[in-house]
Structure 1
Amino acid sequence: MIPAKANQNLQTTKSGRKIRVKNAAIGWSFVIIATVMICLFYFYPMVQALILSFQSGTGTNLTFTGIDNYARLFKDPTFITTVKNTVIYLVIQVPVMILLALFLSVLLNNKTLKLKGVFRTAIFLPCVTSLVAYSVIFKYLFGQDGIINIMLMKVSFISEPIQWLTDPFWAKIAIIIAITWRWTGYNMIFYLSALQNVDESIYEAAKIDGASSFQQFFKITIPMLKPIILFTSITSTIGTLQLFDEVMNITKGGPGNSTMTISQYIYNLSFKYTPDFGYAATVSYAIVIMIIIFSIIQFKVAGDKNE
């Protein structure tokens, strides 16, 4: 016979197991739909795209070709050009945007500044504008007879209109300006939110010790915002490597292919040129690989050494 105490412990164990199973079932009932949707609309297409990257052919008439598409990447002059263009946007625009967002967040976190709400809203508003709409507006602003050239000529900064959209160098500058205008406020909000959670006593103690505003910024503000800076740097890198709308609507990748990005090349391979979905999927996974590489580099450079 089972002792009464042992029988009671057994019943308690069974009861506890039933409660855990019930709680688990309730928990899964809340997340199961979202889990299925994520698997169906995220992971399944990713796996299918990976399988597709090992196939080649016209339209839907595809055959398995192994790693031929990946070998083709290194011999494709258009792909190499798009990578160079995208990296140029990345190494110039992202640091400028991050520094500008940091400066604006510190400036707008000043308690003595009046109309802070107005300035914050004005700087953040570009983030909620339509990508296509603002790109078209910038196309007209930087046109040969656009307001940018008119203003620069009126102040005698230039003697003749700059070919913003037809010169390879100036076309890249126009796109970088457009991207910076739209996304600086987005990153600024992250920094501003983090700054408002920093204890003011830290800055007060630094002032008592004689630290200048410059020293406070680099010795207190930057270290305190380090995780947010890393986060915004990675997200901005991912966004720039996937850049499409601005280039497509402002320059259409021209002149020639001098401003074309990797994402636009994927679009062209799929819908503009003779459809080559297998190679387009391969180029897509090239972006994935680049994102992983750049993210690892940023974690190593800016991450916590103790992690």
Structure 2
Amino acid sequence: MKQLMKKNNIGWLFIIVSVIAIGMFYFYPMFDALLLSFQSGMGANLEYVGFGNWSRLFNDPTFIQALINTTTYLMVQVPIMIVLALFFSVLLNDETLKFRGFFRTAIFLPAVTSLVAYSVIFKYMFSGDGIVNQLLINLNLIDVPIAFLSDGFWAKIVIIVAITWRWTGYNMIFYLSALQNIDKSIYEAARIDGASSFQQFLKITVPMLKPIILFTTITSTIGTLQIFDEVVNITNGGPGNSTISISQYIYDLSFKYTPNFGYAATVSYVIVILVIILSVIQFKVAGDKE
């Protein structure tokens, strides 16, 4: 018994530093931010306001607009990105395709580019005299440049295109890795039974990739709810807050407007709540019954 306890104590010695670090740098900030959401003010001049910050959310037009914009990005961009990542992974998993390595690298490269750099490039590409407008004019598809960055609808489209361009290849790598572990004999048996390529995709590929699809959907949901760099660098939330995200609003509350760290913490916890709710829904819809 003493020897067993000694072994357990030695085991705790190996992980105690990690446990302390995780508690200090992960859980303490989360708990402290929750306490901060019941206060108002900045620095040492904080005062307890109870649920005042939470009730303020429902009467804050900028927050409501940021929430609508962020959920719009989520509902439109994530499904498109997941479908594209699946399509590219299946296409580039074909052993008969030439230059597979090149195409895999080309599609994945956006995921390792600088967030600020690629956002600025997209801003210039979709500006009034940018390459996109010039190309459309030269193809006689439009007569005058489209106001991609000064029109609320088009500005959202640009941000959605930018996010999709960057993260599709990242998710594709997960699917490609999972496809390598699917026994090829399953597809051979399906072909012998007369199943078409589309039927094989629906009946074999998608069910076998179900855990990875769930994982990438949840991580993509979390990432999109936290979108910041693209919005700030491409449109800066404009025009007229039509593209502002929740994360940008948190930044503005903390550093741009009159600082109110308590209310900023409250808005940040909205993201936490949304992540929890959407993750639970996704597990219920796509997760295993166990």
TM bucket (normalised to shorter chain) is over 0.9
* CA-to-aligned-CA distance 1:25-84 (integer Å, 9 cap, x gap): 332222221211111111111111000000012443111111111111111111000000
CA RMSD of aligned residues (A): 1.0
Within a 5 Å distance, the mapping from 1:283-298 to structure 2 comes to 283-298=267-282
- Alpha-carbon separation, structure 1, partners of 2:96 and 2:5: 56
In the alignment, what sits opposite 1:13? none
Within a 5 Å distance, the mapping from 1:123-138 to structure 2 comes to 123-138=107-122
Instruction: Decide which moves more: 44-53 or 149-158.
Output: 149-158
Query: Shift in Å at residue 22 of structure 1?
Result: 2.9
So what's the TM-score if we normalise by structure 1?
0.93
In the alignment, what sits opposite 2:63? 79
2:48 equivalent to 1:64:
yes
Equivalent in 84, 89, 92 of residue 108 of structure 1: 92
SS in 2 for 1:110: coil
Q: Which amino acid aligns with 2:243?
A: T
Unmatched tracts of structure 1, length 5 or more: 1-16
2:231 equivalent to 1:247:
yes
* CA-to-aligned-CA distance 1:77-125 (integer Å, 9 cap, x gap): 1100000000100000000000000000000000111111111111111
Equivalent in 112, 136, 157 of residue 173 of structure 1: 157
Moved over 3 A (4+): none
2:209 equivalent to 1:258:
no
- Alpha-carbon separation, structure 2, partners of 1:59 and 1:33: 30
In the alignment, what sits opposite 1:18? 2
Instruction: Decide which moves more: 18-27 or 108-117.
Output: 18-27
Q: Which amino acid aligns with 2:4?
A: R
- Alpha-carbon separation, structure 2, partners of 1:295 and 1:132: 28
So what's the TM-score if we normalise by structure 2?
0.98
Equivalent in 173, 196, 203 of residue 187 of structure 2: 203
Q: Which amino acid aligns with 2:146?
A: I
Equivalent in 69, 89, 102 of residue 118 of structure 1: 102
2:168 equivalent to 1:187:
no
* CA-to-aligned-CA distance 1:161-188 (integer Å, 9 cap, x gap): 1111110000000000000000000100
In the alignment, what sits opposite 1:153? 137
Structure showing greater radius of gyration is 1
* CA-to-aligned-CA distance 1:222-276 (integer Å, 9 cap, x gap): 0000110011000000000000000011000000100000000000000000000
- Alpha-carbon separation, structure 1, partners of 2:150 and 2:62: 19
- Alpha-carbon separation, structure 2, partners of 1:221 and 1:139: 37
Q: Which amino acid aligns with 1:172?
A: K
Q: Which amino acid aligns with 2:253?
A: L
In the alignment, what sits opposite 1:144? 128
Within a 5 Å distance, the mapping from 1:233-244 to structure 2 comes to 233-244=217-228
In the alignment, what sits opposite 2:73? 89
In the alignment, what sits opposite 2:263? 279
Q: Which amino acid aligns with 2:89?
A: S
In the alignment, what sits opposite 2:254? 270
SS in 2 for 1:61: coil
Unmatched tracts of structure 2, length 5 or more: none
- Percent identical pairs in the alignment equals 71
- Alpha-carbon separation, structure 2, partners of 1:302 and 1:281: 31
SS in 1 for 2:41: strand
Q: Which amino acid aligns with 1:262?
A: I
- Alpha-carbon separation, structure 2, partners of 1:181 and 1:158: 24
* CA-to-aligned-CA distance 1:117-162 (integer Å, 9 cap, x gap): 1111111111111111111111111111111111111111222111
